[in-house]
Amino acid sequence: MVKITDVARHAGVSPSTVSYALSGKRPISEETRRRVEEAIRELGYRPHAGARALASSRSKVLALVIPLRAGIHIPVVMQFAVSVVTTARRYDHDVLLLTQEEGEEGLRRVADTALVDALILMDVQLHDPRLHLLRTLERPSVMIGFPASSEGLTCIDLDFKAAGERCVEHLAGLGHRVVALVGSPPEVYVRQTAFAQRVVQGFTAAADRNGLSSAVHPCEAAPGSARAVAERLLREQPALTGVVVHNEALLEPLIDAFEQLGLRVPGDLSVTAICPDELAESVRVPITSVALPSAELGTRAVELLMRKLGGGSSVPEATLLPPRLTERASTGPRTAP
Amino acid sequence: MVKITDVARHAGVSPSTVSYALSGKRPISEETRRRVEEAIRELGYRPHAGARALASSRSKVLALVIPLRAGIHIPVVMQFAVSVVTTARRYDHDVLLLTQEEGEEGLRRVADTALVDALILMDVQLHDPRLHLLRTLERPSVMIGFPASSEGLTCIDLDFKAAGERCVEHLAGLGHRVVALVGSPPEVYVRQTAFAQRVVQGFTAAADRNGLSSAVHPCEAAPGSARAVAERLLREQPALTGVVVHNEALLEPLIDAFEQLGLRVPGDLSVTAICPDELAESVRVPITSVALPSAELGTRAVELLMRKLGGGSSVPEATLLPPRLTERASTGPRTAP
DNA sequence: ATGAAAGCGCTAACAG
DNA sequence: CTGTTAGCGCTTTCAT
């Protein structure tokens, strides 16, 4: 293995000069830098990650904890992970993958052994058991999602409340008076994952504000249950003309179910969703939707972490991404009297 | 930070004894081990990963390279990744996530800097440009999938040829005489990803062997194209009664399309697939299928790597997992004359 | 602008 | 069964 002293000898300089030429932490003359770079190239030198981590107390690795639980749309997690890795690489960092399963012990392990410099957590719950640990950990972290109290922590997420409102406003603007929310699976509410509740809050608030009649239906993610859900909606709200779907797995089957029940989308029923743009576009009837910006969340999360690692500037505790609604084919003006 | 010398002092032993107590690499008396463990607990000691990697030339980290390209079913990748992480943890290793995007330079980087001890690659192609690099790398690797020549490398995958055969045998056994294969998107064949070709080989060979009339149709993964595919199949093979689908995204839409064309599954048409069991079960008509065992592949890949890292036993260059076909509702005996 | 040298915290001979 | 000690390869004061 070729080491820094080999490079130094080959270039006729000291090891520290090679180190500084690499890190740019102190000025190097043009001539010296050139010689060092050439030596590095000729010898194929690669600094040893462990040695570097030991000497500098920086591993240049971030931990990413991904959720495994039911009710979470896999492609969203995947896209988020890819975006985290890609952005981390832009900052010369790598990403260690952990599963939620490892729990607090897993976080403590990678943090305390200095395997990673910082952590990114997804699927944060209102009273997440990891909150206390994160506050005491000597390493910075960013959470995707909001707990009940984000005091002293850094959180980022789509503004789900605003997203729920935005969908209702859109429907109200089209003249709809009776709306329903098809929500996440019940276990998501039971777990008190904040984002599900927030959609409900926004949905309800906007409906009330606009004088709409509204109802909320938590729903299983099983595509087979779409028909039952559709029937239930119509039974409970016969005058229903506007639907907001916050349940990826149910979106497409629900459209099918409505049409099978003789309701045209958007002719008889306008449907909006909160979901990845990709999904909204792929449905047979492209869905007007508020985007779930998983790639942007990943990028932003890493950027926040880099600022925290940079040390200087303090970062905001809470970052809410404003909802962007894209009109597609699934919504239209109310036609019935 | 509490270090090994602190623990040693606290326990009244030498640092090496603590190290050995931790690694089990030499016998420790019961009494000493107890004292060391207690000291570790009382002080909350965690060995520094970088220091350990430097001194032992083992980072206990595996690299996992995931594909991003079109035509690859995301949940399969995700399930594989989770299984790799979970299994790696059982062997006290962690997993670094890399994207295919980083290319050969990415592999070289993590290997040469000793950031990782070994690598797992997915989505291997027949003439994968990374093959040569893997052979020269000083670190072991395992590939999911088979290149044209696996000389000196370690590969594992489902036996796709046998899987194709198994599906045809099943249909032949039910009396079907005219069968079709709905394959992966054309770009997958163009890239020469081996598994797609192998399914075709197995499908064709088994059809010929059983005297069946057969045809192969590479197909886009766009759900919207299902109808067109279904019509094409029936136009080209009017007597068609058996279909093998090797295209995750098209499976469900295809079933819908057939039924819209007035063909009952399995009444008029028997459908089998090569896909994750989870998908096969979730379709409206549960599909008889050969499982794509991504979780098992992940586990086995890690186990192979661990054996290679262990040094002793040499591992097989090629591992083909035999196909397991599960009968579900989508296949039945041929009814037509 | 560059060098010398002292660690970073741990492992693994080598000794007993 | 346990202790002593020499590094592992790099970063970073401290000098100059």
In a domain, B303, yes or no: yes
In this prediction, residue A125 carries a pLDDT of 87
A82 and B98 in contact by Cβ < 8 A? no
In this prediction, residue A191 carries a pLDDT of 65
Does pLDDT of B105 surpass 60? Answer: yes
Structure tokens given for A266 = 């958007």
Cα separation, A23 vs A8, in Å, equals 15
Shortest Cα distance, chain A CAs vs residue B113, angstroms: 5
Cα separation, B35 vs A120, in Å, equals 36
Task: Please give the single-letter amino acid code of residue B9.
Answer: R
* CATH assignment at residue A124: 3.40.50.2300
Same domain, A74 and A39: no
Chain A: residue whose CA lies nearest to B286? A224
In this prediction, residue B282 carries a pLDDT of 86
Most confident of A306-320, B69-83, B104-118: B104-118
User: A193 falls in which pLDDT band (50, 70, 90)?
Assistant: confident
Cα separation, A286 vs A284, in Å, equals 6
Q: A114: closest CA among A153, A66, A60, A154?
A: A60
Instruction: Please name the member of A46, A98, A282 whose beta carbon is closest to the beta carbon of B113.
Output: A46
B46 and A110 in contact by Cβ < 8 A? no
In this prediction, residue B184 carries a pLDDT of 86
Does pLDDT of A190 surpass 80? Answer: no
Same domain, B168 and B265: yes
In a domain, B331, yes or no: no
- Work out the average pLDDT over A243-254: 93
Same domain, A10 and A132: no
Most confident of A45-59, B189-203, B309-323: A45-59
- Work out the average pLDDT over A92-101: 97
Question: Which of A41, A97, A119, A250 to mutate to test binding with chain B, by most B CBs within 10 Å of its CB?
Answer: A97
User: CA–C1' span, B177 to D12, in Å?
Assistant: 77
Q: B318: closest CA among B63, B72, B135, B148?
A: B148
Same domain, A71 and A147: yes
User: CA–C1' span, A46 to D12, in Å?
Assistant: 20
Q: What is the dihedral of CA B127, B145, B95, A19, to 10 degrees?
A: -10
User: CA–C1' span, B81 to D11, in Å?
Assistant: 35
Same domain, B167 and B282: yes
B49 and A114 in contact by Cβ < 8 A? yes
Q: Tell me the backbone φ, ψ of residue B297, rounded to 5 degrees.
A: -60, -45
Asked if B96 and A94 touch (Cβ cutoff 8 Å), the reply is yes
Does pLDDT of A337 surpass 60? Answer: no
Q: Tell me the backbone φ, ψ of residue B266, rounded to 5 degrees.
A: -100, 10
C-alpha distances (whole Å) from A12 to each of A40, A195, A335, B128 are 12, 59, 82, 40
Residues 12-31 of A with CB under 7 A from strand D: 15-16, 19-20, 22-23, 25
Same domain, B36 and B65: no
Q: Let me know the angle formed at the C-alpha of B219 by B218 and B223, rounded to the nearest 5 degrees.
A: 165
With an 8 Å Cβ cutoff, the interface of chain B facing chain A consists of 44, 46-54, 59, 61, 64, 66, 68, 74-75, 77-78, 81-82, 85-86, 89, 94-99, 101-102, 109-110, 112-115, 222-224, 282, 284
Same domain, B90 and B175: no
SS (H, E, C) B53-111: HHHHCCCCEEEEEECCCCCCCHHHHHHHHHHHHHHHHHCCCEEEEEEHHHHHHHHHHHH
Asked if A119 and A97 touch (Cβ cutoff 8 Å), the reply is no
Q: Which residues of A touch B48 (CB under 8 A)?
A: 54, 113-114
Chain B: residue whose CA lies nearest to A66? B82
Residue B178: strand pairing partners? B213
Instruction: Please name the member of B78, B96, B115 whose beta carbon is closest to the beta carbon of A77.
Output: B78
Split into its structural domains, chain B has a count of 3
Shortest Cα distance, chain A CAs vs residue B97, angstroms: 6
Biggest alpha carbon–alpha carbon distance for chain A:
87
According to DSSP, residue B137 is labeled: S
Helix (H) or strand (E) holding A320: strand A318-321
User: CA–C1' span, B161 to D9, in Å?
Assistant: 48
In this prediction, residue B31 carries a pLDDT of 94
In a domain, A124, yes or no: yes
In a domain, B330, yes or no: no
Same domain, A174 and A251: yes
Does pLDDT of B166 surpass 90? Answer: yes
Of the listed ranges A157-171, A185-199, A254-268, B239-253, the least confidently predicted one is: A185-199
* pLDDT digit string, tens, across residues B222-235: 777 889 999 999 99
In a domain, A326, yes or no: no
Sign of the torsion formed by the C-alpha atoms of A257, A260, A263 and A267 = positive
Which of the two residues, A85 and A123, has the higher pLDDT score? A85
In this prediction, residue A144 carries a pLDDT of 95
Residues 32-61 of B with CB under 7 A from strand C: 45-48, 51-52, 54-56, 58
In this prediction, residue B136 carries a pLDDT of 95
In 3-state terms, what secondary structure has residue A141?
Answer: strand
- How many Cβ atoms from other residues are within 10 Å of residue B8's Cβ? 18
Cα separation, B116 vs B61, in Å, equals 5
B96 and A94 in contact by Cβ < 8 A? yes
User: A65 falls in which pLDDT band (50, 70, 90)?
Assistant: very high
Does pLDDT of B301 surpass 90? Answer: yes
Q: Tell me the backbone φ, ψ of residue A164, rounded to 5 degrees.
A: -60, -45
Chain A: residue whose CA lies nearest to B82? A99
In this prediction, residue B285 carries a pLDDT of 94
Q: Round the average pLDDT of chain B to a whole number and report it.
A: 94
Instruction: Please name the member of A49, A97, A102 whose beta carbon is closest to the beta carbon of B81.
Output: A97
Cα separation, B208 vs A196, in Å, equals 54
According to DSSP, residue A151 is labeled: T
Q: Which residues of A touch B77 (CB under 8 A)?
A: 78
Structure tokens given for B6 = 């602190």
User: CA–C1' span, B104 to D8, in Å?
Assistant: 27
In 3-state terms, what secondary structure has residue A120?
Answer: strand
In a domain, A330, yes or no: no
- Work out the average pLDDT over B256-284: 93
In this prediction, residue B192 carries a pLDDT of 66
What is the pTM assigned to this prediction?
Answer: 0.94
* pLDDT digit string, tens, across residues B174-222: 999 999 999 988 777 766 677 888 999 999 999 999 999 999 998 887 7
Structure tokens given for A312 = 């200087």
Cα separation, B21 vs B25, in Å, equals 8
**Cis before B47? omega within 30:** no
User: CA–C1' span, B60 to C13, in Å?
Assistant: 22
* pLDDT digit string, tens, across residues B42-94: 999 999 999 999 999 999 999 999 998 777 788 899 999 999 999 999 999 99
Chain B: residue whose CA lies nearest to A53? B50
Residue B326: strand pairing partners? B289
Q: Which residues of A touch B94 (CB under 8 A)?
A: 96-98, 110, 115
Q: What is the dihedral of CA A136, A137, A143, A146, to 10 degrees?
A: -10
Same domain, B263 and B308: no
Q: Residue B67 sits in which domain range?
A: 61-158+294-321
Residues 297-326 of B with CB under 7 A from strand D: none
In this prediction, residue B159 carries a pLDDT of 97
Asked if A176 and A212 touch (Cβ cutoff 8 Å), the reply is yes
Q: How many CB pairs under 8 A join A and B?
A: 107
Asked if B311 and B139 touch (Cβ cutoff 8 Å), the reply is no
Structure tokens given for B159 = 């036996």
Cα separation, B68 vs B287, in Å, equals 27
In 3-state terms, what secondary structure has residue B289?
Answer: strand
Q: Please tell me whether any atom of strand C lies within 7 Å of the Cβ of B19.
A: yes
* pLDDT digit string, tens, across residues A206-224: 999 999 999 999 888 777 7
Helices (H), strands (E): how many in chain B?
A: 14, 12
Q: Please tell me whether any atom of strand C lies within 7 Å of the Cβ of A26.
A: yes
Q: Which residues of B touch A222 (CB under 8 A)?
A: 282
Q: Which residues of A touch B54 (CB under 8 A)?
A: 48, 50-51, 54
In a domain, B22, yes or no: yes
Cα separation, A253 vs A232, in Å, equals 15
In a domain, B14, yes or no: yes
Same domain, A140 and A174: no
Helix (H) or strand (E) holding A148: none
In this prediction, residue A188 carries a pLDDT of 72
Helix (H) or strand (E) holding B305: helix B294-310
Shortest Cα distance, chain B CAs vs residue A172, angstroms: 31
In this prediction, residue B176 carries a pLDDT of 98
Same domain, A176 and A274: yes
Cα separation, B239 vs B336, in Å, equals 9
Structure tokens given for A193 = 């994952």
Same domain, A168 and A264: yes
Q: A305: closest CA among A109, A91, A106, A126?
A: A91
Structure tokens given for A242 = 């506007």
Q: Please tell me whether any atom of strand D lies within 7 Å of the Cβ of A66.
A: no
